[in-house]
């Protein structure tokens, strides 16, 4: 305003170049600020999130490779730090679990070693016991008839016998000699049929044919004269592993055992059926059955309830050895309706 109160106005024309400079400067500072913020955000993101997560990834790979002592620093964003702490706890738990597992494995190895040692001792004891029973059985089965023969010979040497007594004594000597012969024969059969190494049995036999032939053979024997022998064989039975002779010996021993149990009079049933890869054979009689006191040992050598001189107790032991050799199984039981039952399972030939 002037001294007399008049208003003085000055007009200046706009300067476009100055406005552009200010706008450019504003844009520059705005871009610089944005770049700074982005850079800071990148640094913070990398330091607090990306790097900790990458460390977790690498640590996880090492942990998966079995390096259980792996750990990661607990740093970064709160969630990432909690994740790192959880990872370290998991790794520590895995270390504890592995230590406990190793301790348990060491205990199991020690226990296994002790069990193996105990098993070996039991096997040795069982073998020694079997040898003892075998020796005692042989001594009994051969020693008794030898003692009888020696006594009879001493009586014959005296010479104070009439011809009839001499004939009787000579007949008794012959019978005792045959008893020794049968004992030795059964022992040889038993030794030949010991399981041992089964290996691969290449031969096979038709069980139906072997059963039929065996039945015809027994038909002519006096001990089966008053015994009814019944065969029930399924049609189309597969061939079984093993040769016919061993199977015939198995059947004869089972049938002779049944006939002895019947005392020469009764009924024997033989059934054979297909059991899906196996052939089931059952030999049953209607006799008095097996004494419960020896049922668990019926397949052991020299186990018998027959009177002295009427059996060696090796027949069923031979059966068990043959069946084991052929890769099958045999079981003995008493029937509910009376009598004994022998169940044999033989593998079908491939």
> Which tens digits make up the pLDDT trace of 120-129?
888 777 666 7
Query: What does each C-alpha distance from 35 to 24, 42, 318, 348 come to in angstroms?
Result: 16, 10, 98, 86
pLDDT at 282 over 90: yes
- pTM for the model stands at 0.53
| pLDDT, tens only, 309-332 | 555 667 788 888 889 888 899 999
pLDDT band, residue 197 (cuts 50/70/90): very low
How far is it, in rounded angstroms, from Cα 252 to Cα 39? 100
pLDDT band, residue 280 (cuts 50/70/90): very high
**Domains of the chain, start order:** 126-192 (1.10.287.130), 204-347 (3.30.565.10)
pLDDT at 1 over 60: no
How far is it, in rounded angstroms, from Cα 58 to Cα 274? 62
pLDDT at 342 over 90: yes
Higher pLDDT, 221 or 289: 289
For residue 171, the model assigns a pLDDT of 85
| pLDDT, tens only, 179-196 | 777 777 767 766 665 554
Average pLDDT over residues 222-237: 87
DSSP code string of 285-317: E-SS---TTTGGGTTSTT---SPTTS--S-HHH
């Amino acid at each position: 305003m002037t001294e007399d109160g008049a208003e003085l106005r000055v007009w200046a024309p706009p300067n476009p170049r100055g406005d552009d400079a200010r706008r450019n400067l504003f844009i520059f500072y705005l871009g610089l600020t944005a770049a700074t913020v982005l850079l800071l955000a990148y640094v913070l993101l990398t330091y607090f999130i990306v790097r900790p997560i990458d460390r977790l990834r690498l640590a996880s790979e090492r942990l998966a490779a079995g390096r259980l002592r792996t750990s990661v620093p607990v740093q970064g964003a709160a969630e990432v730090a909690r994740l790192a702490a959880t990872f370290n706890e998991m790794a520590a738990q895995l270390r504890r679990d592995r230590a406990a597992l190793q301790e348990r494995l060491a205990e199991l190895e020690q226990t296994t070693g002790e069990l193996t040692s105990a098993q070996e001792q039991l096997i040795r004891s069982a073998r020694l016991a079997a040898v003892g029973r075998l020796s005692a059985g042989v001594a009994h089965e051969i020693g008794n008839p030898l003692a009888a023969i020696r006594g009879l010979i001493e009586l014959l040497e005296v010479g104070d016998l009439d011809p009839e007594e001499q004939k009787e004594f000579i007949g008794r000597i012959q019978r005792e000699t045959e008893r020794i012969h049968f004992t030795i024969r059964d022992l040889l059969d038993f030794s030949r049929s010991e399981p041992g190494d089964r290996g691969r049995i290449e031969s096979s036999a038709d069980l139906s044919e072997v059963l039929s032939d065996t039945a015809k053979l027994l038909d002519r024997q006096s001990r089966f004269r008053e015994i009814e022998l019944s065969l029930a064989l399924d049609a189309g039975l597969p061939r079984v592993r093993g040769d016919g002779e061993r199977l015939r010996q198995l059947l004869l021993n089972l049938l002779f055992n049944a006939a002895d149990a019947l005392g020469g009079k009764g009924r024997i049933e033989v059934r054979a059926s297909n059991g899906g890869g196996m052939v089931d054979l059952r030999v049953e009689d209607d006799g008095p059955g097996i004494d419960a006191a020896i049922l668990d040992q019926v397949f052991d050598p020299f186990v018998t309830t027959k009177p002295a001189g009427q059996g060696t107790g090796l027949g069923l032991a031979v059966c068990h050895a043959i069946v084991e050799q052929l890769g099958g199984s045999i079981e003995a039981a008493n029937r509910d309706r009376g009598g004994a039952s022998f169940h044999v399972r033989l593998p079908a030939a491939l």
